[in-house]
């Protein structure tokens, strides 16, 4: 009795100062190979050991095995060793160890039975081929180099084969044959690879000897030329999604005319162009250029008109020659009011594109862009002379600067990845919200919710043509808007005029075709033109603010989406009664979350933008917007 009490007391003391029982083996995931001659089973032998500071040091072991790791217990035992044949695949084993002081410890891990043996490969020791005219070439199939091939589990006819020239790649080769020409005379080292159904490989080093027996198959060597470089936008940001091109032309006096063109589409910001088989011994000229296609209106806003106007009036000059080039949309080598007229026509939709310039111009970097007059000397091509070409050559460092015509403040979207969220609090554009009867006309004044020093603005309104007709605009010069029965594009770029709720920025006359509340038939069309206002700051730099339209009294909490369907970007228009956190999530139709953003939103109406580059491939997404104690859900569709 006294001995029993002593052991219990000893266990209690030991358990209070240290871990009473612990594993001394790794108790970690393990792998075992298939048995020789078997493709279904592998022998397993497992032993895990623990130690205890309980007085008797006696430990009892047991284990449970979940075959195929599917959640069920298939084997269990009170032994301290797992042994036997297990099926191909992954299984889970759970160990339990206990001592005489009632201390217990467990561990769980996976055991994997896998194929460890690659294919057995025996290769022929090289092949020789003599080249004969007129083809003067030889082709070797991978099977020509294989003398014997077997595998423990994969049928021979299902074993993959590949071949490549030695040192020309890594991993498993994709070629099934290699061809050699007149300049491959001599020893050519090869790699022959095989791979079974479980991904296990084997390879052998081999060779092919190519011989020429006729003068007609003599090697006529030529040059491989490489050209590489990168592109950035005028503000220094990496510029993706453009096209680079090199043209190689033989100069007068060459033995025969020669011209080759290589063009590549560049997804990232850097390009590499390779032109092969340029004959030796002649003089050549290489011309390297780049271009970029885009929507002409991308990045072009009334903000740019404000900046061009200030430059022309001498209020505030543009910063660099790249901005000067972007402003010269009539290609006159000068910045004049005519450039404002042309840009304004594009914004209002009178033009689909600039008549005299492309959307982008890719140019050589200027040594000193701060000298504004340098914009007339900008060049868009590189020229490289290659006299008496006799070797393979590589030319790096062909840098380009992308200039988006009409975009003076670098607002065009072209990022490789990322989304864009309105950084400034939205500016409220207020209007009455009357109920209109069929045939009733009304003149609606649109004014700012707060008094602001307004330098310019732009917006597009669209009406439901079956319900509402737009009649006329007042308060704007005629050249500053384009009006149809169901759409209005408008802008202004006056310099620093104070506007407030009592001073509308324009009025719009409408006629109802059916009974309607104005807010149900008229909305800002962000797909046509981003609604923005430009407010004067103390330091003279205008601040861009998104515009949201508020009909009637203070807008209750809401969430709407436009454009929908969308192509490049989608805007979530929300209104909050109080500022606070919000969560925007986008899901695939299968329920997988593909976008999540936690936001701190201000009181009132505002917009959150997501660009298509932020989303994976797919045409339909579900959204969930949690804010202001409410949950908004819906569906958006990508064109």
Residue 352 has pLDDT above 70, yes or no: yes
**What span, in angstroms and rounded, lies between the C-alpha atoms of 493 and 559?**
30
Q: Which of 120-124, 456-460, 541-545, 592-596 has the lowest mean pLDDT?
A: 541-545
- Position 170 pLDDT exceeds 80: yes
d(CA 492, CA 490): 7
pLDDT at 360: 96
Distance in angstroms (rounded) separating the CA atoms of residues 309 and 321: 16
Compute the distance between CA of residue 273 and CA of residue 283 in angstroms, rounded to an integer.
Answer: 20
Q: Which of 20-29, 525-534, 571-580 has the lowest mean pLDDT?
A: 571-580
563 cis-preceded (ω within 30 degrees of 0)? yes
d(CA 278, CA 289): 19
- pLDDT category of residue 29 using cuts at 50, 70 and 90: very high
- 572 within 8 A of 625, measured Cβ to Cβ: yes
Spatial CB neighbours of 2, under 8 Å, sequence gap ≥ 6: none
pLDDT at residue 61 greater than cutoff 70 = yes
Q: Give mean pLDDT, residues 382-389.
A: 94
> How do strand 569-576 and strand 259-266 relate by DSSP bridges?
unpaired
CA distances from 157 to 143, 151, 153, 197 (A): 11, 10, 12, 11
Q: Specify the residue for token string 């932020």.
A: 614
pLDDT exceeds cutoff 70 at 522: yes
Cβ-in-10-Å burial (0-12, 13-18, 19+) of 466 comes to: exposed
Closest CA to 432 of 553, 544, 340: 553
Whether the CB-CB separation of 381 and 363 falls below 8 Å is answered with no
pLDDT at 8: 46
Q: Beta strand 222-233 with 393-395: parallel, antiparallel or unpaired? A: parallel
- Check: CB of residue 201 under 8 Å from CB of residue 116: no
In contact, 380 and 363? CB cutoff 8 Å: yes
In this predicted structure, the answer to whether residue 263 has a pLDDT above a threshold of 80 is yes
Model pTM greater than 0.85?
Answer: no
More confident residue, 185 or 406: 406
Percent of the chain with pLDDT over 90: 60
Tokens of 352: 């689909």
Among 58-62, 529-533, 571-575, name the one with the lowest average pLDDT.
Answer: 571-575
Q: Would you state the pLDDT for residue 416? A: 41
What is the pLDDT confidence band of residue 555, given thresholds at 50, 70 and 90? low
Q: Which two tokens stand for residue 531?
A: 């609604």
Task: Summarize pLDDT for 298-322 with one digit per residue, the tens.
Answer: 999 999 999 999 999 888 899 999 9
- The reported pLDDT for the residue numbered 324 is 96
Helices and strands of the chain, counted as H and E runs: 5, 46
pLDDT computed for residue 25 by the predictor = 92
pLDDT (mean) for 13-30:
76
Highest mean pLDDT among 93-102, 207-216, 534-543: 93-102
> Mean pLDDT of all residues in the chain?
88
Report how far residue 258's alpha carbon sits from residue 255's, in angstroms, rounded to the nearest whole number. Answer: 9
State the average pLDDT over residues 483-512: 86
Q: Are strands 41-47 and 81-87 parallel, antiparallel or unpaired?
A: antiparallel
pLDDT of residue 411: 87
Neighbours of 98 (CB within 10 A): 19
Residue 89 burial (C-beta neighbours within 10 Å; 0-12, 13-18, 19+): middle
Tell me the pLDDT band of 629, cut-offs 50, 70 and 90. Answer: confident
Please determine, for residue 417, whether its predicted confidence score (pLDDT) is greater than 50. no
CB of 626 closer than 8 Å to CB of 601:
no
Q: Is the peptide bond before 125 cis (omega within 30 degrees of 0)?
A: no
- Would you state the pLDDT for residue 419? 38
Kindly give, in sequence order, each residue whose CB lies less than 8 Å from that of residue 237, ignoring residues fewer than 6 positions away: 410, 414, 415
The token pair that represents 135 in the structure block: 């083809």
Instruction: Count the helix, strand and coil residues of the chain and give each as a percent rounded to the nearest 5.
Output: 10, 45, 40
Each residue's pLDDT tens digit, 436-488 = 999 999 999 999 888 888 888 999 999 999 999 999 999 999 999 999 989 99
**Domains of the chain, with CATH numbers?**
2-114 (2.60.40.10), 120-217 (2.60.40.10), 555-639 (2.60.40.2550)
Closest alpha carbon to 137 in 214, 81, 66 = 214
> Does the pLDDT of residue 131 top 50, yes or no?
yes
- 526's tokens: 């962000």
Whole-number pLDDT of residue 4: 47
Q: Is the pLDDT of residue 512 over 90?
A: yes
Count of alpha carbons within 13 Å of 621, Cβ hemisphere only?
A: 27
Residue 153 has pLDDT above 80, yes or no: yes
CB half-sphere exposure, 508, CA atoms < 13 A: 30
Q: What is the per-residue burial (b if ≥16 Cβ within 10 Å, else e) of 310-346?
A: bbbeeeeebbbbbbbbbbbbbeeeebeeebbebbbbb
Q: How many CA atoms lie within 13 A of 498 on its CB side?
A: 2
Q: Which residue has the higher pLDDT, 49 or 19?
A: 49
Cα diameter, the chain? 116
Q: Can you give the pLDDT at residue 564?
A: 81
Taking the CA atoms of residue 95, residue 98, residue 102 and residue 108 in that order, the dihedral angle to the nearest 10 degrees is -20
Residue 257 CA neighbour count, 13 Å, CB half: 1
Distance, C-alpha 235 to centroid of its chain: 20
Quote the pLDDT of residue 113.
94
Please give the average per-residue pLDDT across 337-353, as a whole number: 94
What sign does the CA torsion over 68, 71, 72, 74 have? Answer: positive
Name the nearest CA neighbour of 430 among 528, 487, 505. 505
487-502 burial code (b ≥16 CB/10 A, e <16): bbbbbbbebeeebeee
**Which neighbouring-strand residues pair with 131?**
212
Mean pLDDT of 599-614: 82
374: helix, strand or coil: helix
Q: How much is the CA Rg of the chain, to the nearest whole Å?
A: 37
pLDDT in tens, 574-589: 877 777 888 999 999 8
């Amino acid at each position: 009795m006294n001995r029993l009490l002593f052991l219990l007391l000893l266990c209690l003391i030991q358990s209070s100062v240290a871990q009473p029982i612990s594993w001394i083996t790794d108790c970690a995931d393990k792998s075992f190979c298939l048995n020789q001659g078997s493709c279904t089973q592998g022998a397993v032998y497992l032993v895990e050991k623990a130690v205890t500071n309980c007085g008797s040091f006696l430990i009892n072991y047991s284990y449970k095995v979940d075959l195929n790791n599917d959640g069920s217990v298939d084997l269990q035992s009170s032994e301290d060793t797992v042994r036997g044949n297990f099926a191909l695949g992954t299984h889970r084993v759970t160990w339990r160890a206990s001592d005489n002081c009632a201390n217990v410890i467990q561990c769980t891990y996976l055991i994997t039975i896998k194929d460890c043996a690659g294919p057995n490969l025996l290769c022929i020791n090289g092949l020789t081929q003599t080249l004969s005219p007129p083809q003067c070439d030889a082709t070797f199939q991978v099977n020509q180099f294989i003398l014997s091939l077997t595998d423990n589990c994969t049928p021979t006819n299902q074993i993959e084969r590949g071949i490549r020239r030695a040192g020309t790649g890594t991993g498993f080769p994709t070629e099934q044959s290699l061809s050699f020409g007149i300049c491959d005379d001599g020893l050519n080292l090869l790699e022959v690879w095989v791979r079974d159904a479980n991904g296990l490989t084997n390879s052998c080093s081999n060779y092919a000897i190519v011989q020429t027996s006729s003068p007609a198959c003599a090697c006529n060597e030529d040059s491989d030329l490489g050209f590489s470089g990168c592109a950035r936008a005028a503000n220094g940001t990496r510029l993706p999604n453009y096209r680079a091109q090199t043209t190689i032309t033989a100069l007068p006096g060459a033995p025969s005319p020669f011209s080759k063109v290589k063009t590549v589409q560049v997804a990232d910001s850097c390009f590499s162009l390779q032109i092969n088989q340029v004959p030796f011994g002649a003089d050549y000229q290489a011309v390297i250029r780049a271009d970029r296609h885009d929507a002409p209106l991308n990045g072009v806003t009334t903000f740019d008109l404000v900046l061009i106007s200030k430059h022309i009036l001498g209020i505030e000059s543009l910063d660099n020659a790249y901005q000067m080039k972007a402003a010269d949309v009539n290609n006159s080598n000068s910045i004049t009011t005519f450039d404002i007229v042309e840009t304004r026509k594009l914004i209002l939709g009178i033009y689909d594109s600039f008549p005299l310039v492309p959307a982008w111009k890719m140019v050589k970097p200027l040594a000193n862009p701060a000298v504004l007059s340098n914009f007339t000397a900008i060049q868009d091509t590189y020229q490289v002379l290659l006299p008496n070409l006799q070797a393979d050559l590589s030319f790096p460092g062909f840098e380009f600067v992308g200039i988006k015509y009409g975009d003076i403040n670098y607002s065009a979207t072209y990022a490789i990845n990322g989304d864009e969220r309105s950084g400034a609090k939205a500016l409220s554009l207020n209007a009455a919200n009357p109920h209109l009867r069929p045939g009733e006309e009304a003149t609606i004044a649109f004014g700012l919710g707060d008094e602001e020093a307004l330098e310019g603005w732009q917006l597009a309104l669209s009406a439901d043509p079956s319900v509402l007709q737009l009649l006329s605009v007042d308060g704007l010069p005629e050249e500053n808007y384009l009006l149809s029965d169901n759409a209005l594009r408008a802008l202004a770029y006056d310099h620093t005029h104070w506007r407030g709720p009592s001073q509308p920025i324009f009025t719009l006359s409408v006629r109802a075709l059916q009974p309607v509340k104005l807010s149900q038939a008229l909305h800002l069309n962000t797909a046509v033109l981003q609604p923005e206002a430009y407010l004067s700051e103390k330091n003279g730099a205008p601040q861009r603010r998104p515009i949201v339209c508020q009909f009637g009294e203070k807008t209750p909490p809401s969430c709407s989406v436009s454009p929908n369907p969308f192509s490049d970007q989608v805007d979530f228009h929300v209104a909050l009664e109080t500022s606070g956190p919000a969560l925007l999530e986008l899901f695939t139709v299968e329920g997988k979350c593909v976008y999540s953003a936690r936001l701190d939103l201000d009181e009132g109406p505002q917009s959150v933008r997501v660009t298509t580059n932020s989303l994976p491939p797919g045409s339909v997404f579900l959204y969930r917007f949690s804010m202001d104690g409410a949950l908004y859900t819906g569906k958006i569709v990508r064109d």
